[in-house]
Chain A
């Protein structure tokens, strides 16, 4: 078993989440993956978005299967479920949504651990497909 910690940094958010043109949306999160090559992985998603007068919290889980392209490129497609909460001035609304996530990482293997640098695309389903979030990530496999 291996543990992979991937810390994501926001690169951009498309216009579909949240509503309108993205101005101050700041998704962030981390991915904790347990499992190695050809094993089912577990992914925890935490995101926070703020807009001019509201913000959205998303958190959830996704599972997928890692595929290796050669020994350096890791591709991990995952599906899962996120719980979303929209909040404005003390009023909030909750809901569940399916999510699709693809993480692509390049692995730098050293003697003790593997450094991985990559990105993930996340799509919260709304009947249309598009990359809702693109996060840059960096992490280690131990």
Chain B
């Protein structure tokens, strides 16, 4: 029995420690499950709270498609092995008419994130409407992926990945910085050009 004492002590010590690398390796940085909710404090021209909730899931050809209600707007995401895509319809308004260019799968996150990586994808479409050719350009670029620790509302979040997301749609561009915490997801977002700041206020996951 005595010989098991040191082994047991070492095991207890090791089990009691959370290891950063293995935590990052095993965590889900984009946990989508029906019923999961996040509430964010949004600061900008107006201060308000926005609630995000996963409202639906369907399985299409082996991939999970999630409907996410973001303050009343339904966004759709596809989860595949090693990545998450945002499903968008690209359209434009021309002479008062909506001209659709179809559905795109925007590469939203590579999972699990790896510090230093970057990715981008460009979509180019054109359509003939009432005899006129209309073009649509959409580019998404992610870079500056870093592993960091962040304090929000006195809460210390470790093993967080931050990134910069650039979206260029026709002549409009949007740059935002995002922070994702392990097994929580998005905890902070900054859109510096609009001086809009999101911070996680609370979250509740459906067990």
Q: Do the beta carbons of B25 and A89 come within 8 Å of each other?
A: no
Q: Which of A20, A89, A125 contacts B22 (CB 8 A)?
A: A125
The yes or no answer to B169 lying at the interface (CB within 8 A) is no
Closest A residue to B145 by CB, please name it: A91
User: Which residues of B are found within 8 Å of A17, using beta-carbon distances?
Assistant: 22, 25-26
| Chain A 99-142 interface mask (CB, 8 Å, partner B; 1/0) | 01000000000000000000000001111010000000000000
CB distance from B7 to the nearest CB of A (A): 7
The yes or no answer to B102 lying at the interface (CB within 8 A) is no
Q: Which of B11, B22, B110 contacts A53 (CB 8 A)?
A: B110
Q: Which of A52, A92, A124 contacts B25 (CB 8 A)?
A: A124
Q: How large is the interface on B (under 10, 10 to 19, 20 to 34, 35 or more residues)?
A: 20 to 34
User: Which residues of A are found within 8 Å of B3, using beta-carbon distances?
Assistant: 65
Of all A-B residue pairs in the complex, the 8 with the closest CB atoms, nearest first, are A95-B21, A97-B22, A53-B82, A91-B117, A127-B18, A126-B22, A52-B82, A52-B81
Q: Do the beta carbons of B114 and A92 come within 8 Å of each other?
A: yes
User: Which residues of A are found within 8 Å of B18, using beta-carbon distances?
Assistant: 125-127
Further pairs besides A91-B117, A126-B27: 20, Cβ < 8 Å: A16-B26, A19-B25, A19-B28, A20-B81, A21-B81, A51-B81, A53-B110, A64-B7, A79-B14, A84-B21, A95-B21, A95-B22, A95-B24, A95-B25, A96-B21, A97-B25, A98-B14, A98-B19, A125-B15, A126-B23
The yes or no answer to A86 lying at the interface (CB within 8 A) is yes
The yes or no answer to B80 lying at the interface (CB within 8 A) is yes
Q: Please judge, given known A-B contacts A20-B111, A98-B14, A100-B11, whether A91 and B116 are in contact too, CB under 8 Å.
A: yes
User: Which residues of B are found within 8 Å of A129, using beta-carbon distances?
Assistant: 15
Q: Do the beta carbons of B112 and A97 come within 8 Å of each other?
A: no
Q: Please judge, given known A-B contacts A51-B81, A52-B80, A77-B7, whether A84 and B15 are in contact too, CB under 8 Å.
A: no
Q: Please judge, given known A-B contacts A20-B28, A125-B14, whether A97 and B19 are in contact too, CB under 8 Å.
A: yes
Considering residues B22, B83, B117, B147, which has the most beta carbons from chain A within 10 angstroms of its beta carbon?
B22
Please measure, in the bound complex, the distance between the C-alpha atom of A97 and the C-alpha atom of B11, giving whole angstroms: 14
